[in-house]
A and B are shown apart, each in its own frame.
Chain A
Amino acid sequence: MNKILEVRNLGRTYGPGCPLCLEATGPESDTNLCPHCGSVVAIHDVSFDLFEGEILGVMGESGSGKSTVVKTLFFDQAPSRGQAIFYDSDRQHDLFALNAAQQRWLRNHRFGMVYQNPHQGLNFNITAGGNIAERLLMSDLMDYGAIRSRAKELLARTEVLLSRVDDLPKRFSGGMQQRVQIAKALATQPPLLFLDEVTTGLDLSVQARILDLILEIQQELKTAMIVVTHDLGVIRLLTGRALVMKYGRVIEAGLTDQILEDPQHAYTQRLVASAL
């Protein structure tokens, strides 16, 4: 299996920061707020590898830093510490050493992101087709006919009615908005996809169809994905491996089945027990 992403010691602190921040926070201290300087250690020392076609789950309660992990990797936020290397066919990119234009290029061409809130991922003032066109135009496709047919193809693939390709996303239901977001993220056939709480807030039948869609895409395109969620059902269904986070630290990592059947850390045990 080919490695796609290698993340080492990723960290992000909000606030001034002091030498004691990292020791004074974390699961042992039961806080992520430094008592000395008031900084928030959103994530610290997060390391993992991701392989081609693999789905990695990141779970934890709200405020545990799981979204911050994908946001730094998608360049929405800059990390305070750490390194991430993206292996793109035979080239390597040291993600945080790239300049802004190179980061934007990777973001547009090689990565995809689906946010919990469609307002973050979609432009609600332009049509569903226009949203997909935006991503294709960012990757330098300049042919109107080609953009149009690719947009339709993607919306058909994500089960959005083709008659609605020229409607504004604000006229769509939540599930449809999420599917348009997925279609947009997939437009450039990225080898790496980030999914941040994609099914949160949707009703169960819609959730099931979106999860099915994600699995089908993974089978078809061999896209590697990082799935952030607090829903253990989603973790169980989608992911092969998972990280459990608390107060910005990874407290448990391993095969999903193993974590869910035989949790080692007290927090994970509580989490799994509460879900059953």
Chain B
Amino acid sequence: MNATPSHAAGSAYNFGFLDEYAKKEVRRSILKAIAIPGYQVPYASREMPMGRGFGTGGLQLTLALIGPGEVVKVIDQGSDDSVNAVNLRHFIEMTCPGVTTTTRTQEATLIQSRHRIPEQPLTRAQIIVLQVPYPDPLVVVEPSEDRRKTMHGEADYARLLVKLYEDIVKFDEITISHRYPTRINGHYVIDPSPIPRWDVPKLDDSPALVLLGAGREKKIYAVPPHTRAEPLAFSDVPFRIEDFRDRQGQRHACARCGCSDSYLDEFIDDRGARVYQCSDSDWCDTQLQHADTEAVA
């Protein structure tokens, strides 16, 4: 959050890679996005030294907000160690001297995430930036952007609800697993990026500021702190999160830390068995540490 131009030591690039004017433009768009919760603010998405679709939207938000002293965490599908997260973290370390990075959720002041919100509840001192591939939830029902804008303006979301109706007719339940359309502050419906349904309730009344950035589609939108976020549903068919129950109705637990109230990834291990493990790696580590300290005590 440093407005004065400063160069990274020994580097030809400005602090935070983007030039100050670019950061200013992004910040101005962020302010507008916060002022109109859920509204997709267009901005001049810059070329970044990585392909669009690799989190350039989220990265531009992060770089516009970052200043020396900031503690940054980068998540890719819940993990700090997958390629996308590692590369973005290195990029931030390289272009932002004085910024520390962490994998611990509660230590971070700024979290950039691809498709997950951490299990550890966020605080008012934190900002989470989500990377967005498709910002407009109406794109599935209306190809013309011009008409989509009118529909957003008039809060005309009936055709989106028809999709839910058709889902229930065909499958007896709403089958949207991620990118669940969510109404912000009673008006605009957003695509909350491909976070699982599990994470959608975390947007509601969140103490932390949630920013969403789409690089390729050049849009920024926000869920400001303590704002209503209601997933679209029918009054008699409420929104449900994943329950991770087996056929006997038993809730799966994480094979590594034993946690039974986190979002789980399912995979097949070396012996061909089905294994469940926390998707949020920091959460899983924290649970293991807790178990250790309790065992020692």
Contact = CB atoms under 8 A, between A and B. Distances in A.
Interface string A123-150: 1001101100111011000111111000
B1 interface: no
Interface in B120-169: 150, 153-154, 156, 158-159, 161-162, 165-166, 168-169
A125 B53 CA distance: 29
A266 interface: no
Interface residues of A, number: 21
B166 A143 contact: no
Contacts of B161: 133, 137, 142
A108 B158 CA distance: 11
Interface string B213-240: 0000000000000000000001111000
A101 B168 contact: no
A273 interface: no
B234 A130 contact: no
Contacts of A129: 165, 169
Given A143-B234, A143-B235, A144-B236, A133 B154 contact: no
- Range of interface residues on B (Cβ < 8 Å): 10 to 19
Nearest to B156: A104
A192 B166 CA distance: 28
A100 interface: yes
Given A127-B169, A137-B161, A104 B235 contact: no
Nearest to B159: A134
Nearest to B169: A166
A144 B237 contact: yes
A137 B235 contact: no
B86 to A, nearest CB: 42
Secondary structure at the B interface, as helix, strand, loop or mixed, is helix
A133 B161 CA distance: 9
A133 B237 contact: no
Nearest to A138: B158
Most chain B CB within 10 A, of A108, A134, A143, is at A134
A138 B159 CA distance: 8
A108 B168 CA distance: 23
Interface in A226-251: none
B166 to A, nearest CB: 5
Nearest to A144: B234
B45 to A, nearest CB: 30
Contact of A133 (B150, B156, B162, B170): B162
Contacts of A145: 236
A144 B162 contact: no
Contact of B235 (A127, A134, A142): A142
Contact of A130 (B153, B154, B165): B165
A179 B23 CA distance: 57
Given A100-B154, A166-B169, A126 B237 contact: no
B169 A101 contact: no
A137 B165 contact: yes
A131 B210 CA distance: 35
A254 B158 CA distance: 41
Most chain A CB within 10 A, of B165, B166, B234, is at B165
B236 A133 contact: no
B165 A133 contact: yes
B154 A101 contact: yes
A127 B156 contact: no
Nearest to B166: A130
Given A130-B165, A133-B165, A144-B165, A100 B158 contact: no
Q: Which 3 A-B pairs have the closest CB atoms?
A: A144-B234, A137-B158, A138-B158
Interface of A: 100-101, 104, 108, 123, 126-127, 129-130, 133-135, 137-138, 142-147, 166
6 contacts: A126-B162, A134-B158, A137-B165, A144-B165, A145-B236, A146-B236
Given A100-B154, A133-B165, 20 more contacts: A123-B162, A127-B169, A134-B158, A134-B159, A135-B158, A137-B161, A137-B162, A137-B165, A142-B161, A142-B235, A143-B235, A143-B236, A144-B234, A144-B235, A144-B236, A144-B237, A145-B236, A147-B234, A166-B169, A166-B170
